[in-house]
Amino acid sequence: MIASATTRELLALDAADPLVRLDQHPLWEAMLEGTFRPERLVDVALTFYPSLGGTARYLFSSKVSTLALADGKAVFRELYDALTLPEADADSGWRQFAFAVGTPLDRLDDSLTSPSPEVADYVALARAFGHRSAHEGVGAAWGVERQLPALWGRVADALARHYKIPEAALRYLRYQGTIADDVERRIMSLVERYLDDPWKTYEARRAARECVWTWKSISERITLGEPSSGIGRAHPEASGPLGGRETQDPL
């Protein structure tokens, strides 16, 4: 297979493609602009929780089985951080956010044990690429894992600015924003080592696009689906548009 450009050049083209960018979706565009309806933040909390919490916390670590020893050790160091740094804990961090926007905790637990089909597909696909080959696992990570920290950091800014979500509920999202550059450098380092021929680059780019597509399908479930019903009060300690009052029924 003859390369049409270098791996970095091809990935740069992909990174600029709106179809590949996670933030280029009506859900996140609306949230970042402050036009997303605040009562529907519950849907975001419920729908995305099983893509981040539970066993999905270790989603992209599946590639450890196909990486070289030194790179596998680096993955385990990341897992150690996720297990020992309070702000890196996706389970407790996302639950704090969900609590602040008025998500009933029993429904949050139910979402973790019975995720939507879109979340189940995304988790299964990303994990499968990591098990199948090193370069496809790296491609999957380049597609989603590389982008999520920066997006979560921007989402935290928007939630604080437009929705007045208290900082205590944004600790996980804020932390993700602080590690975005490090995550990008780490994944690009893996790109240099594992996407070392045109065919591997092709398969990695395909894995990236498939994982991005399935992740965006979770967002589609929110924008195209019916709003959650039966949501009661936000926690009385929460501030902002949802704090201490009944949410309004969506129009």
Q: Mean pLDDT for each 10-residue chunk of the chain (251 residues)?
A: 86 97 98 97 97 78 67 70 82 95 93 94 93 93 96 98 97 96 93 94 98 97 78 45 38 29
pLDDT of residue 61: 63
pLDDT of residue 225: 82
Q: Which two tokens stand for residue 103?
A: 């998500």
Say what the pTM is.
0.86
Phi, psi of 197 (to 5 degrees): -155, 165
One-letter identity of residue 64: V
Q: What are the sequence ranges of the domains in the chain?
A: 7-59+66-224
**Nearest-angstrom CA–CA distance, 19 and 87:** 30
pLDDT of residue 1: 72
* Exposure b/e, 3-17, CB count within 10 A at least 16 = b: eeeebeebbeebeee
Write the CB contacts of 53 (distance below 8 Å, at least 6 apart in sequence): 90, 91, 94, 95, 112
Distances in whole angstroms, Cα of residue 183 to Cα of each of 24, 42, 178, 190, 199: 20, 28, 10, 11, 25
Residue 240: left if φ>0, alpha if ψ -120 to 50, beta else—which one? Answer: left
Which CATH number describes the domain made up of 7-59+66-224?
1.20.910.10
- For residue 47, list its beta bridge partners: none
pLDDT of residue 26: 97
